[in-house]
Amino acid sequence: MPIQPQITWDDFDKVDIRVGRIIEVTEFPRARVPSYKLRVDLGDEIGIKQSSAQLAANYTPEQLLNTHCLAVVNFAPRNIAGFMSEVLVLGVPRDGGGLVLIRPESDTAPLGGRLY
The pLDDT tens digits of the residues spanning 1-47 come to: 678 889 999 999 999 999 999 999 999 999 999 999 999 999 999 99
Give the pLDDT confidence score for residue 88 in this predicted structure. 98
Domain assignment present for residue 108? The answer is no
Domain assignment present for residue 10? The answer is no
pLDDT band at 93 (very low <50, low <70, confident <90, very high): very high
Widest distance between CA atoms in the chain:
39
**Helix (H) or strand (E) segment spanning residue 44:** helix 43-46
pTM score: 0.92
Domain assignment present for residue 90? The answer is yes
CATH number at residue 55: 2.40.50.140
- pLDDT tens-place string over residues 96-108: 888 999 999 988 9
* Total tally of structural domains belonging to the chain: 1
The C-alpha atoms of residue 100 and residue 40 are separated, in whole angstroms, by 17
Strand, coil or helix: what is 35?
A: coil
The C-alpha atoms of residue 40 and residue 33 are separated, in whole angstroms, by 20
Q: Which domain holds residue 43?
A: 16-101
- pLDDT tens-place string over residues 59-86: 999 999 999 999 999 999 999 999 999 9
